[in-house]
Chain A
Amino acid sequence: MIERREKLMSYLVLGPFAIVLAFPFYWMLWTSFKSDIDLYNVNDVPFKFGKGSPTLRNYAFLFHHTQYLTWVKNTVVVGAIVVLITLVLALPAGYALARLAGRWGQNLGVGIFLTYLVPPTLLFLPMSWVIAHIGLQDRLLSLIIVFPSFTVPFSTWLLMGFFKTIPAELEDAALVDGASRLRTLLYVIFPISVPGILTVVIFSFSLVLNDFVYALAFITTSNAKTISTGVSTVLIRGDVFFWQGLMAATLLPTIPLALLYNMFLNRFIAGFTGGAFR
């Protein structure tokens, strides 16, 4: 009885929220298939196809007349490498702060996190100077070097908290058994921390995806652009917005990414809580 009522409550909550949150995407889907005549019509019904719709022209334009696929590739490549760099820097740091550094470790961890509070809008001009002077202007490597500046503080603090939830007894047990610290790291800690790593991967990747200011300031060469800057260059021309193409460009990376996040969600949640006892 109570079970059924609770299930009903769940639906009553989840239903409306899912509708409200996903509604823009539903509407984006419709818009991306509309023709200009249909769209720029005050009597246009957003959820029906009018004159000239549905059309694949907007998607075709995106794929054939812009470098959209290149930009997607760039974004993915930059994201992947930045995630790797973040893990290389933040994993050992997080572990050390949680285990090896004691009291001042906690404060240092917080201090590292606080650097995340400095907004990119404050830093991008001096950073442009640095990037230009090491010769990386207009190259993806500039983003690869700069993005960890916000993913690393965030991830270090996250991993520090995560490692704290793994009971020290596990490591001590391994140490007593004769394993070196590194061995402990590799064979005991690492497997358990996979959820934490997944957390860092997903957060860092989404932070990379959301950047706009750095990509704009550092890169103007079309085939080195990321999705956000590339799309806004080609589909926003002066006072003409190609809305349908913009919608299509937004939908295409979002849906696979959301599917991916959803698939890994269970393991990802464990990343927050340690999961040592699950």
Chain B
Amino acid sequence: METEKRSLSKASLATLIEQLNGNGAVVIGPQKKDNLVVFEPLHTLAEMTDEYIATTQSPKDVAFPKIERLFNYHVTQFFVDQEAPVKNYPEVVLIGARPCDAAGFDSLTAIFTWDTKDTLYMERLALTTLIGMSCSSHDANCFCTSVNGHPGSTHGSDILLTRMGKGDFIAEIVTEKGKALYDKYAGLFGPDSGEDKTKYLTEVPVKFDVAETVKKATGMFEHPIWLEQSLRCIGCGACAYVCPTCACFDIQDESAGSNGHRVRCWDSCGFGLFTLHTSGHNPREVQSQRWRQRVLHKFSYMPDRLSLVGCVGCGRCSRACPVDMNLSEHMVSIAEA
């Protein structure tokens, strides 16, 4: 559908949040928690903060939770009884996701639907309406414009809000889902104010040409650059877990006595254990091989197999990394290698 422009005052946004809560939706928005900004249930506008470039963690857990129960089981002498949990996914309205976060769901959807359709992910996502917030500032870790993104991009948002300085919002109704929410609360929105959002957006310099870099990286499997870049990497999972596009998961059975449940939980290709075979052989024994995999997965295999880059340039990995592994810097050195 064609994007429709409206306006939304700060006061109306406050009312919208209250009414959404009142109508039983779970509203999730960015909130300050000590030194971090995290996505948490939002009951009033006052709880929401705008002092963030990107939240520490991505909002991917609305559709791909950190832990998700698949089924319960009970073991008897001869049988294992499985019981699928009652799926009670509420309606979720996610407010304050940046354009990079919104674009991240594209990546996840591509991965979760390319073969067997991951119905758990799809059902949760179907119930989520994304009200994005465009960016008036950026930092040294941002590189959305290098990976087909933009601080004011509507891609992936159902409604995109742009704050006019410290004042009211330009609201763009982007998708049918956004229109459905708009229709329900139309009274809170005003007409198109005629404002051009670009003057309220920050400018993120392009650091590398993604198409060229993808092509380059694809031919660099045996290159010594991977060792050079990964010497300081300590092999934790921080980057994968905060990333809006990382979708790797583990499946675990947890039990007490004869009752238990099977869960899906996040996993990271940075862990040594990730590709350890039962035989003891590990095709990615050392960190440089795992680092190479991480980069090529996002910047070679995904473009090749799923026709999109598996990175949205949010910079969270670089901010969360304990050893300053700055991904965009690495991509630039690949481009220049």
Q: Do these two chains really belong together in a complex?
A: no
